[in-house]
Amino acid sequence: MNTFLSVDNIQMIYQTPTEETEAVRNVSFAVEKGQFISLVGPSGCGKSTLLSAIAGLTKQQRGTITLEGTDVMQCRDKIGYMFQTDNLLPWRSIYKNVVLGLEIQKKLTKENLEYADTLLQRYDLWQFRDSYPNRLSGGMRQRVALIRTLALKPELLLLDEAFSALDYQTRVKVSGDVYEILRKENKTLVMVTHDIPEAVTMSDRVIVLSKRPAVVQKTVDIDFGGGMRNPAAVRTDPRFQLYFNHIWKELT
């Protein structure tokens, strides 16, 4: 296997003056370039903690995390991070929100601005570029947040419960959109979710974590046949229910 992201024997502990909380214990997995991985596990088990280490935002106490052989702390510019809230700035237009990251990182080059325009056009937000976030639905806002992240050309995308603030139908739609966009842009994805259907429909592999401290309890390869899939449509595939039941049993 050609490893892109390597997570090797990670341990993470929170120290407070009064206590020590071990959040992640001996977690290892490898991700190939272009693969989509979901991490599922009970609430509070350590998923966000692990993801922040993969993002190079928090340092693990033990173990190594590398992207193409280099410590993730040294390649944060190759990693994009998306959260539950879209964090769009209400006083900036959609366009100004999309280029915000480029502006902060002083990367407002002609080439980067053209890529931002392309993304807005390709993913149906071009006509809203002069609108303000409050004019857009929750699903569209989340797509804007994704495009703002993609404008920085990350190779690895990390999504932490990115759809959980949306109502059910919107999240099915948006998770499908995000799947399609990330596949088309050839990104690698590691996402955290507590929603089993979301994990099954969007991933090539689901890693089930135990309750805290998180250890890898089970790894489930997901295959609906073929390359690109339609995450909303595979919900009616008989294999979907089998994967769901399998992961559900592991979690309960």
Helical ranges in 47-137 per DSSP H: 47-54, 94-98, 100-104, 110-122
187 binds, among Mg ion, ligand ADP, none (CB under 5 to 8 A by kind): none
Per rule CB under 6 A, is residue 234 in the interface with ligand ADP?
A: no
How many separate helices (H) and strands (E) can be counted in the chain? 8, 10
Per rule CB under 6 A, is residue 44 in the interface with ligand ADP?
A: yes
Binding segment (CB under 6 A) for ligand ADP, from list 46-54, 105-113, 138-146, 163-171? 46-54
112 binds, among ligand ADP, Mg ion, none (CB under 5 to 8 A by kind): none
Here the tokens at position 104 are 């902060």
Binding segment (CB under 6 A) for ligand ADP, from list 38-46, 97-105, 127-135, 232-240? 38-46
**What does the DSSP 8-state code read for residue 127?**
G
Which DSSP helix (H) or strand (E) runs through 207? Answer: strand 205-209
Binding segment (CB under 5 A) for Mg ion, from list 41-49, 125-133, 141-149, 163-171? 41-49
Residue 136 to residue 131: CA distance in whole angstroms: 8
Rounded to the nearest whole angstrom, what is the least distance from the CB of residue 195 to ligand ADP in the complex?
13
Per rule CB under 6 A, is residue 182 in the interface with ligand ADP?
A: no
Rounded to the nearest whole angstrom, what is the least distance from the CB of residue 16 to ligand ADP in the complex?
6
Phi and psi, residue 69, nearest 5°:
85, -10
